[in-house]
């Protein structure tokens, strides 16, 4: 609800982030979008502060109304990576390249299109955003190897039972109920997110935002 989302935004701002990433699913599949809740989202999300950049990608549930998704996030100054990339320079000539692909579940994902990088940035440090963590398997089938992937979708499982583990998992994500994965030279971090699905519960799996620091060695 709006009150909880306000708290999330405040927690993000308290971290003083340089860059904010949103890896999809603004909407719940049961949501009936109307002008009031669209405007509420805009009002709250517009308060997210980042020193340099804010990026968003489209999750499978956002296809309830893709146009509304684009309107909301672009109106609050997020760059929506819609099978596209953006180049970011920070205190030097070596860029970070942020690449974003659309939902695999919705078959809207175009890896080759998103990765059509200009020659001068092909060797840059690449950060790939995709809603579903299974993107790491799709990339492994190609010659494309980003340095870092951020994903979401899976929520780990709505219920985390001692000894038994996570229950009420999203379909097709049984291999991705952890946080960190590595495939060849690519590292991937998967957020367990803020929301729910089907059932409005989370037990021993608190909603979360994630803070990462990048270091140059």
Among 53, 37, 31, CA closest to 100: 53
pLDDT score at 91: 84
* pTM for the predicted model, two decimal places: 0.91
pLDDT tens readout for residues 66-88: 999 999 999 999 999 999 999 99
pLDDT tens readout for residues 175-215: 666 677 777 788 999 888 888 877 788 888 888 899 999 98
pLDDT score at 175: 62
pLDDT score at 87: 96
H-only helix segments in the chain: 2-14, 35-45, 66-75, 111-114, 135-140
Both structure tokens of 202 = 């989370």
pLDDT score at 161: 78
Among 182, 172, 95, CA closest to 131: 172
With a CB cutoff of 8 Å and minimum separation 6, the contacts of 201 are 158, 159
Measured CA angle at 12 (ends 35, 193), to 5 deg: 75
pLDDT score at 134: 87
Question: Which pLDDT tens digits describe the chain residue by residue (217 residues)?
Answer: 789 899 999 999 999 999 999 999 988 777 778 899 899 999 999 999 999 999 999 999 899 899 999 999 999 999 999 999 999 998 888 899 999 999 988 999 999 999 999 988 999 999 999 999 889 889 988 889 999 999 988 777 777 778 877 777 766 555 666 677 777 788 999 888 888 877 788 888 888 899 999 987 7
The torsion angles phi and psi of 182, rounded to 5 degrees, stand at -140, 135
pLDDT score at 174: 55
């Amino acid at each position: 609800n709006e009150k909880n989302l306000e708290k999330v935004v405040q927690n993000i701002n308290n971290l003083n982030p340089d860059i904010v990433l949103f890896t999809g699913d603004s909407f719940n599949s049961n949501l009936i979008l109307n002008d009031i809740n669209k405007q509420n989202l805009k009002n709250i999300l517009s308060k997210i502060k980042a020193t340099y950049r804010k990026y968003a990608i489209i999750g499978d549930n956002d296809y309830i109304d893709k146009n509304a998704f684009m309107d909301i996030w672009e109106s609050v100054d997020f760059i929506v990576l819609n099978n596209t990339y953006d180049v970011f320079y920070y205190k030097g000539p070596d860029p970070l390249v942020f690449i974003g692909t659309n939902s695999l579940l919705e078959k809207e994902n175009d890896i080759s299109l998103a990765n059509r990088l200009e020659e001068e940035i092909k060797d840059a440090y690449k950060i790939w955003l995709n809603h579903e963590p299974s993107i790491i398997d799709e990339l492994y089938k190609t010659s494309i190897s980003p340095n870092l992937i951020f994903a979401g979708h899976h929520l780990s499982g709505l219920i985390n039972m001692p000894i038994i583990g996570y229950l009420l998992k999203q379909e097709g994500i049984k291999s991705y109920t952890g946080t960190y994965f590595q495939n060849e030279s690519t590292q991937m971090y998967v957020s367990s997110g803020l929301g729910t699905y089907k059932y409005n519960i989370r037990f021993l799996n608190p909603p979360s935002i994630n803070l990462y620091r990048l270091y140059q060695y």
